[in-house]
Structure 1
Amino acid sequence: MALFIGFVLVSLLGLIHHYGLLAVRAIKPSSDHRPRAAIIVTFIALLALHTIEILGFAVAYKVLLIWGAVGDLASYDRSWSGLIYFSGVNFATLGYTQIETSGAIRLINMMQSLGGFMVLTWSATFLYSVSERAWKE
């Protein structure tokens, strides 16, 4: 069940990221006319997108912990900042945090790490393509 929940959450992450990238592409200035602005706007917009994705997983963890059927987090002070930290570290560093998981929630944690790796590399490729076009002579 937890693996399925993780799969669904990462699938939603992929959808949100796809439409987020479309939005970033729509708001960024032209790489041909304002190359520096295109890179900076893309970077800041991607940072905002990843922050929203991290916050979304923090909300999902809060709901799952209230539900209680998938396990628990140890060494966690039950604050929103603790959940955001846990989600952010899972998203960006493959889950090595000071907060320990117990129970099936570990599978959701694993799936978030996989999803974070996937969208971070997707974003890096997107930023690289914007930069490459902006830096062409």
Structure 2
Amino acid sequence: MAAEHHVNLLNATLINGLIVAIVVLIHHEVLIHLSGILSRMRQSHRFRLIAAVFGVLAAHTLQVWIFASAFYFMHHAEGWGQLAGNFSGSILDCVYFSFTTFTTLGYGDIEAFGILRFLTGIEALAGLVLITWSASFLFVEMQRYWPTR
């Protein structure tokens, strides 16, 4: 039984690492493309900044859905643990849980059990880093395009 637990833990570590790698690469590519698009835009600085904010929000939403998909499949598969509480097992409940985890809001109305808890911690850490990265990107863009007084 202990050997099976170690295999599951190793598999969870590999899957979690893959998910984090995917969302980080997506974030990097979105910011690179956004930067290029913003530099070519001829609209007002306000429009460019709003476009940047929407681009960042879209990237984070995609990242949350990637984590939510992992929660959904791991919850419904054997040996990964489960989500419980105010949780029906639907993909939308997984998305809600993922949003609260990614943003580190964590209402606590849904709780992870078993190896699945590892993914919640990884998502919170990744969310914190990616949101901070987005804030830094938006700050630089604001400095670049904000009107001088």
TM-score (norm 2): 0.83
Could you tell me which residue of structure 2 aligns to residue 84 of structure 1?
95
- Identify which of 64, 74, 82 aligns with 1:64: 74
Larger radius of gyration: 2
Does 2:40 correspond to 1:26? no
Q: Which residue is 1:113 aligned to?
A: 124
Query: 1:8, CA displacement in angstroms?
Result: 2.2
Q: Percent identity?
A: 32
The answer for the alignment partner of 1:134 in structure 2 is 145
Structural mapping, 1:1-40, within 5 Å: 1=9, 2-28=12-38, 34-40=44-50
- Tell me which amino acid in the other structure corresponds to 1:19: E
Q: Given that residues 72 and 89 in structure 2 are in contact (C-alpha distance below 8 angstroms), is that contact kept between their aligned partners in structure 1?
A: no
* Structure 2 unmatched ranges of 5 or more: 1-8
Aligned residue number for residue 134 of structure 2: 123
Q: Deviations over 1:20-57 (max 9, x none)?
A: 11222233355886311111100011111111111111
Aligned residues of 1:89 and 1:95 also touching (Cα < 8 A): yes
How much is the aligned-residue C-alpha RMSD, in angstroms?
A: 1.9
The answer to which structure, 1 or 2, has the higher relative contact order (CA under 8 A, 6+ apart) is: 1
- How far apart, CA to CA, are the structure 1 residues paired with 2:57 and 2:115? 30
Q: Which moved more, 1:57-66 or 1:46-55?
A: 57-66
Q: How many residues align?
A: 137
**1:98 and 2:94 correspond:** no
